[in-house]
Amino acid sequence: MRYVKQLLTLFCIAFLVLAVSLPVFAAEDKYPSKVITIIVPFSAGGPSDTIARLVAQTMSVSLKNQIIVENVAGAGGTIGAARVAKAQPDGYTLFVHHIGHSTAPTLYRKLTYDPINDFAPIGLINDGAMTLVARKNFPANNLKELIAYVKANKDKVNLANAGVGSASHLAGMLFMSALQIDLTTIPYKGTGPAMNDLLGGQVDFMIDQTTNTTSHIKAGKIKVYGVTTKKRLASLPDVPTMNEAGLPNFEITVWHALYAPKGTPKPIIDQLSKALQAALKDPVLNQRFADLGSESVAQNRATPEALRAHLKSEINKWGPIIKKAGVFAD
């Protein structure tokens, strides 16, 4: 009787162990075998969310697997990033973040994660252009006049941005540091309200993503002075680059990238990187990116190595600028 009982217990344990481990084995056999979640650390509907959804939709085709986007917004993207840093590294939780991932370690002095070491890079996604735009009745007619006007009226001019750590905030800091001046900055909660006040003439100028500015530029509701990319944009062919317009070396792009939590197996990372590269070749995706004034990166940049190097160089680029401006988010 005792043996029977012991045997039974043994069976039970063996069964339980099997039951628990079977799905794991099954999962390791073939990746992906269940829904993949991409966490976007911004609210749904914004530019980053749109980029992530386009990529998710296109990647799900080549991976033959469903990918959903979950928005975990807040604190300049650091809440979502912290969640991913602690997620299971099984390839089913991924992360799309923009340039802010490289500025977070300087802006937030008490981060609970390390942007480089807590993540496994998969690849860069895109480079988004920014534009320097001003209210419709702003006196300057080109960038040189704007710079002269801003320098002469630095106590009167208002520079808008979409909040601490946003791309427009970073670009604004870069602009002020290039001109060696300090302006009054007017922060908003997001690009929408900032654009609203620029259209209404409540603020003077800002540097914001083309996603947000192109349609208003085309409709003639705001003035444009330059794009922040190396070359002119196909969507705004008449707008000079900042370099052409008279502010050399002023280059800034809002780049997005795809990450996994640290410890995700290398075969999975490679598979995802390949799927990302395939997605970035998709004509529909490229058309949508172009509509947004954005461009997918070259195939050799949609790789873990390129992303790791880029992230490090961006952290080193922005650190001193932010520290000099003395802005911290916490």
Catalog residues that contact other proteins under the rule CB under 8 A: 43-46, 49-50, 53-54, 57, 68-69, 71-76, 79, 82, 107, 112, 155, 158, 163-165, 184, 186-190, 192-193, 195-197, 199-203, 211, 214-216, 218-219, 221, 287-288, 291-292, 327-330
The first and second tokens of residue 45, run together, are 């509907």
Q: Closer CB to other proteins, residue 75 or residue 179?
A: 75
Q: Measured between alpha carbons, how far is 12 from 156 in angstroms, rounded to an integer?
A: 78
Q: What type of residue is 52?
A: A
- Cβ 206 to other proteins, closest distance in Å? 14
- Cβ 62 to other proteins, closest distance in Å? 17
- Cβ 49 to other proteins, closest distance in Å? 6
Q: Closer CB to other proteins, residue 21 or residue 88?
A: 88
- Cβ 41 to other proteins, closest distance in Å? 12
- Cβ 164 to other proteins, closest distance in Å? 4
Q: If you count them, how many residues does the chain have?
A: 330
Q: Closer CB to other proteins, residue 75 or residue 278?
A: 75
Nearest CA to 69 out of 82, 91, 88, 50 is that of 50
Q: Closer CB to other proteins, residue 72 or residue 116?
A: 72
Q: Closer CB to other proteins, residue 111 or residue 244?
A: 111
**104, 78 contact by CB (below 8 A):** yes
- Cβ 219 to other proteins, closest distance in Å? 4
Long-range contacts formed by 73-76: CB under 8 A, 24+ apart: 73/41, 73/42, 73/43, 74/41, 75/108, 75/329, 76/100, 76/104, 76/107, 76/108, 76/163, 76/164, 76/165, 76/166, 76/329
Long-range contacts formed by 49-55: CB under 8 A, 24+ apart: 50/211, 50/292, 51/96, 51/98, 51/125, 51/126, 51/128, 51/256, 51/289, 51/292, 51/294, 52/96, 52/256, 54/285, 54/288, 54/289, 55/96, 55/125, 55/258, 55/276, 55/279, 55/285
Q: Closer CB to other proteins, residue 184 or residue 300?
A: 184
C-alpha distances (whole Å) from 133 to each of 61, 137, 218, 237 are 38, 11, 12, 15
- Cβ 263 to other proteins, closest distance in Å? 23
Q: Closer CB to other proteins, residue 74 or residue 267?
A: 74
Q: Closer CB to other proteins, residue 84 or residue 329?
A: 329
- Cβ 194 to other proteins, closest distance in Å? 10
